[in-house]
Amino acid sequence: MVKPSPSALKQYLLNAEELGNPLQVQDLAPQATSMAVEIGFGGGEYLAWWASQHPDWTFLGMELPVDCMLRAARVLQQAKVDNVRLIRGDARYLLREIFAPQSLHHVLMQFPMPWPKEKHAKHRVSSPQFAQTLADVLVQDGIFELVTDQDWYAKETAEVFAQHPDFLASEIEVQPHRPFQTRYEQKWLEEGRSIYRLVVRLLRPSHSSRILLPQPMDCFSLSPSLVGADVKKLLGSRFKQGDSVVEVKEVFAAGDGWMLRVLSSDHSFSQLFHLRIRKKKDGRCLLKVDEVPRPYYTQAVRFALKSIHQALQQGEVEVLR
């Protein structure tokens, strides 16, 4: 496991807790002229190089594994770049949810996992929804750039953008000139594979609906006479309302109350987080979202709070098992 210094983690990692309103370029760097994103930055080498080429821009990298976050934080610190932040999560949702409309100048994705089998197609980042997300968060004339070793993936992505009325796609370039190569790129070139690049430009921004709620979650008051047996009855409960689904996966005593481990889904966006029930010294009993680490605030997280509150207060909520 790569160990970056605590100062590198503090400098480069951006947490969901820090996000309030949708991000604008000024929120990351007041002096920056443009904001760019790299999806799936791997070890962060390209991001460090890219940021060093544009010191007046600000950059945000998105990745899934913790290991990539740690390795990239160390690489960025060694490269002494100070115009990059890293955020962990699935770019298909993060891109749509955390940026203000028309806030990004360039989104880059290099050697994404292509998920070639049709049964895994839902994992591919490129999709009509992704194009609509980009139509919302890119500025007019903003760029999405894909670099891949899979010709069919480049063609499929070009087709997705060709179907969207607000984008103009370039021809797919084969073996484009690239002044800096990513780790995967070096590997594929050594194996003799071809590299493909697609660049699309946004002609007209348009809106995409989002699931993140701008305001914090409420804190609910519960009966002071609540006992552990009432809380434990919630284990395995499922609640459903529209696109929000919530399931209580675990219930355990914690300090001066209990914790519920909850799985929530808004459409296909799933999160695991904790709700805390706390008996206060003044006799009150409170239910709230545990903030460390806190989930992204969505309709399903709000629904989890409301339905569990109601279930504990009245037992009247329909519980699907």
Based on the shown chain and the rule CB under 6 A, indicate whether residue 63 belongs to the binding site for ligand SAM.
Answer: yes
Question: Which CB atom, from 10 or from 122, has the smaller least distance to ligand SAM?
Answer: 122
Between 69 and 277, CB nearer to ligand SAM? 69
Q: Give the nearer residue to ligand SAM in terms of CB position, either 182 or 264.
A: 182
Torsion of CA 14, 17, 20, 23, to 10 degrees: 20
Cβ distance to ligand SAM smaller for residue 41 or 296: 41
Compute the distance between CA of residue 296 and CA of residue 253 in angstroms, rounded to an integer: 24
* Most distant CA pair in the chain, distance: 70
Phi and psi at 97, nearest 5°, equal -90, -35
115, two tokens: 């998920």
Q: Is 185 in the site for ligand SAM (CB under 6 A)?
A: yes
Least distance (Å) between residue 50 CB and ligand SAM? 11
The candidate with the shortest Cα–Cα distance to 167, out of 196, 197, 132, 137, is 132
> Smallest gap, in angstroms, from Cβ of residue 4 to ligand SAM?
17
Q: Round to whole Å and give the CA distance between 244 and 291.
A: 21
Q: Which of 8, 37, 91, 98 binds ligand SAM (CB under 6 A)?
A: 91
The answer to whether residue 184 forms part of the interface with ligand SAM (CB under 6 A) is: yes
Distance in angstroms (rounded) separating the CA atoms of residues 230 and 263: 20
The yes or no reply on residue 113 touching ligand SAM (CB under 6 A) is yes
Query: How many chain residues bind ligand SAM (CB under 6 A)?
Result: 21
Q: Between 188 and 258, name the residue whose CB sits nearer to ligand SAM.
A: 188
Contact 139, 102 (CB under 8 A): yes
Query: Does the protein bind ligand SAM through residue 112 (CB under 6 A)?
Result: yes
All residues at 6 or more sequence positions from 267 whose CB lies less than 8 Å from its CB, including other chains: 211, 243
Nearer to ligand SAM, 65 or 228 (CB): 65
Residues in contact with ligand SAM by the rule CB under 6 A? 39-42, 62-65, 68, 90-92, 110-113, 125, 182-185
